[in-house]
């Protein structure tokens, strides 16, 4: 694609849902483990993950596996800062793909359910939900499970919004921040699991150790420090120092692995330094748009009836030098979401998206808090899509 200014836009990194992708990690890990530990799942996974060559070799045949998700650690950020994270840099494995959009709500649901966004339906951070009057509807913040009317856990029930069982129905305990246990998003992507809370990183290690000692075959753990720091401070000194802490956390987890156990590590997305480079949508779009959703690097425009092509044309002319402008139908045809979208899932998305390939973010006037973020994600640049999948066997 040629930009309006004459340059050529990069191509989006469309996730490889049938291969080395976040949505394939759990089925591949379960397949790589000692068969007697996980054979009871009996789940017909949407991909054949058997003997996946991209699964780190230390995970093969493990009797117990800890799956650690470090929120916000992209492969490119890890390689750029390898000197301050020697444990992470020394892990076996390499880069895999996140999902589209590269946002926590969508990526974590793909990880836990082992399915692409087109299947599980959590297709973004802020998605459209039907209004009671059948009009334009409202925007659901999936992480907070809130609309403009407040908490909607009773009216938009998480197990209905996303009904697939996590981890193929295997009873995997989830070691996450204590305050996350009762959230709507936890009910959507970790429905029915046993939550084991932590408040500081050292407690995460203790909880994982206790679960391993109790004989749990698979333990899932989630740490969000890197993502928080990147959003607030970008990818400079603060991020590097937090990466030092995350590296220490990984080392501490390795220290509590019993013989025969292994640690697998991945992430939900990478990051891009955006800082103050925010963009308002071109004013000519607003008469043709009834709702805006998504996030700064994957901004959805919900067109008024009959206006989809006009919205796309105006968006391309105004913003095509900094973003891939695609209709929803074009994205589905290009495989962005991992398959066709059921009607109820398609309704959660807009008609035209601005997906930034430049280090910028497109603002939604109704989401003022987002304007203060420094590090961002959501788009399909390599820095956001490529995440690590690393493995370590128990020391000794």
pTM higher than 0.75, yes or no? yes
Q: Which long-range contacts (CB under 8 A, 24 or more apart) does 174-179 make?
A: 174/220, 174/221, 174/222, 175/204, 175/207, 175/208, 175/211, 175/219, 175/220, 175/221, 175/222, 176/221, 176/222, 177/222, 177/224
Residue 386: is its pLDDT beyond 70? yes
Q: Which residues, 6+ apart, have CB-to-CB distance to 340 below 8 Å? A: 118, 332
Within this chain, do residues 153 and 51 fall inside the same structural domain, yes or no? Answer: yes
Residue 7: is its pLDDT beyond 70? no
Residue 253: half-sphere exposure toward Cβ, Cα within 13 Å: 34
Within this chain, do residues 197 and 324 fall inside the same structural domain, yes or no? Answer: no
Within this chain, do residues 76 and 205 fall inside the same structural domain, yes or no? Answer: yes
Residue 207: is its pLDDT beyond 60? yes
Within this chain, do residues 157 and 50 fall inside the same structural domain, yes or no? Answer: yes
Within this chain, do residues 108 and 208 fall inside the same structural domain, yes or no? Answer: yes
Within this chain, do residues 173 and 317 fall inside the same structural domain, yes or no? Answer: no
Does residue 143 lie within any of the structural domains?
no
Q: Predicted confidence band at 372 (pLDDT cuts at 50, 70, 90)?
A: confident
Within this chain, do residues 155 and 51 fall inside the same structural domain, yes or no? Answer: yes
pLDDT of residue 367: 78
pLDDT of residue 164: 97
pLDDT of residue 395: 86
**pLDDT tens digits, one per residue of 209-253:** 999 999 999 999 999 999 999 999 999 999 999 999 999 999 999
Within this chain, do residues 246 and 313 fall inside the same structural domain, yes or no? Answer: no
Number of domains in the chain: 2
Domain holding 213, by residue range, is: 22-122+149-272+381-393
CATH label of the domain that carries residue 283? 3.30.1360.180
Does residue 89 lie within any of the structural domains?
yes
Within this chain, do residues 64 and 44 fall inside the same structural domain, yes or no? Answer: yes
Within this chain, do residues 65 and 180 fall inside the same structural domain, yes or no? Answer: yes
**pLDDT tens digits, one per residue of 242-281:** 999 999 999 999 999 999 999 999 999 999 999 999 999 9
Within this chain, do residues 259 and 299 fall inside the same structural domain, yes or no? Answer: no
Within this chain, do residues 312 and 177 fall inside the same structural domain, yes or no? Answer: no
Does residue 201 lie within any of the structural domains?
yes
Q: Predicted confidence band at 302 (pLDDT cuts at 50, 70, 90)?
A: very high
CATH label of the domain that carries residue 173? 3.40.720.10
């Amino acid at each position: 694609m040629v930009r309006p200014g004459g340059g050529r836009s990069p191509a989006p990194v469309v996730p490889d849902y049938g291969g080395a992708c976040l949505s394939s990690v759990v089925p591949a890990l379960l397949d790589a483990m000692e068969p007697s530990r996980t054979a009871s799942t009996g789940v017909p996974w949407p991909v054949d993950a058997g003997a996946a060559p991209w699964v780190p070799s230390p995970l093969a045949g493990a009797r117990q596996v800890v799956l650690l998700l470090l929120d916000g650690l992209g492969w490119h950020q890890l390689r750029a800062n390898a000197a301050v994270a020697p444990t992470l840099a020394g892990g076996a494995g390499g880069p895999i793909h996140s999902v589209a959009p590269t946002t926590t709500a969508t990526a974590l649901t793909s990880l836990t359910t082992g399915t692409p966004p087109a299947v599980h339906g959590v297709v973004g951070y802020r998605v459209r939900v039907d209004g009671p009057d059948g009009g334009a509807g409202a925007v659901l913040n999936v992480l907070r499970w809130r609309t403009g009317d407040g908490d909607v856990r009773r009216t938009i029930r998480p197990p209905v919004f996303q009904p697939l069982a996590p981890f193929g129905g295997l009873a995997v305990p989830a070691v996450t921040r204590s305050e996350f246990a009762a959230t709507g998003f936890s009910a959507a992507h970790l429905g029915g699991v046993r939550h084991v809370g932590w408040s500081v990183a050292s407690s995460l290690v203790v909880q994982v150790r206790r679960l391993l000692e109790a004989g749990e075959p698979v333990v899932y753990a989630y740490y969000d420090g890197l993502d928080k720091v990147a959003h607030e401070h970008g990818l400079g000194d603060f991020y590097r120092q937090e990466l030092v802490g995350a590296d220490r956390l990984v080392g501490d987890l390795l220290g509590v692995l019993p013989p025969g156990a292994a640690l697998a590590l991945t992430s939900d997305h990478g990051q891009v330094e955006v800082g103050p480079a925010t963009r308002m949508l071109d004013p000519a779009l607003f008469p043709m748009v009834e709702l805006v959703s998504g996030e700064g690097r994957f901004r959805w425009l919900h067109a008024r009836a009959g206006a989809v092509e006009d919205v796309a044309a105006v968006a391309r002319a105004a913003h095509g030098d900094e973003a891939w402008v695609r209709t929803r139908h074009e994205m589905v045809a290009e495989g962005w979401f991992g398959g066709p979208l059921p009607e109820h899932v398609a309704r959660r998305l807009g008609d035209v998206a601005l997906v930034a390939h430049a280090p910028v973010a497109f603002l939604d006037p109704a989401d003022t808090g987002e304007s203060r973020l420094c590090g961002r994600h959501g788009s399909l640049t390599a820095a956001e899509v490529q995440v690590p999948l690393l493995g370590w066997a128990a020391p000794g």
